[in-house]
Amino acid sequence: MLARRLTTILPPPTRDEVIEVSTIWSVAGLLPKPGTLVTQRPFRAPHHTISVSGLIGGGSPPHPGEVTLAHRGVLFLDELPEFNRIALETLRQPIEDKAVTIARARGSMTFPSSFMLLAAMNPCPCGFHGDPRKACACGKATVQKYQARISGPLMDRIDLFVDVPRVEYDKLVEERRGETSETVRRRVERARAVQLARFRRGRNGEPLRYTCNAEIAASDIWDLCP
């Protein structure tokens, strides 16, 4: 549930992003009605049994995979270590390049894949490693082997790691209300507005076509982030 709320705190897609996403979904045959537009940011949560071609794209002719269907939105991978190791490793290029190229004998096709990757995993197979109230049933070697299913190069492409410990019952039943998604979204929109203003000033007064900091090329970092 928490993961699915992520798209509700992101800024609404721009006109160009709506056209991009709608075009992708049209190619994939996922539009609810012909001629309609996808006006919400996509949230894709494939099962951990998904194939490499289902995740990255493939087939003949090539069809978009989940990384492309999540373009301009969120790709959520729950139980991350349970995914096929090869499929996870193929994520590295789409995350880095914001695009994925499918090569076939008759040619190749490039699909966009600028998505926010959100992943979740247990600390060990039994789920209780480090829990203060219940002992872990896994040995040290088992825990290390489980966590090693996620390679270093893939971990390097994930910007933020958050430990989510057990929530005590008394906190679950508290009547105190937290922030609404709308409140958080307004904060995100203010931060995004600052970024967009920076991009409009651009390099030596020339506007740049970025929408968020994650897209900034290495060559522009010194100009935009002095």
pLDDT digits (tens, 9 = 90+) for 38-92: 999 999 999 999 999 999 998 888 899 999 999 999 999 999 999 999 999 999 9
Q: What ranges do the domains of the chain cover?
A: 3-121, 177-211
pLDDT digits (tens, 9 = 90+) for 142-171: 999 999 999 999 999 999 999 988 888 888
pLDDT digits (tens, 9 = 90+) for 109-131: 999 999 999 999 999 999 999 99
CB atoms closer than 10 angstroms to residue 40: 14
pTM of the model: 0.89
- For 204: left if phi > 0, alpha if psi spans -120 to 50, otherwise beta; the answer is left
Burial class (CB in 10 A: 0-12, 13-18, 19+), 143: middle
Nearest residue to 52 via CA among 93, 107, 106: 93
* pLDDT for position 209: 84
Residue carrying the six token digits 């012909």: 34
The CATH superfamily holding the domain 3-121 is P-loop containing nucleotide triphosphate hydrolases (3.40.50.300)
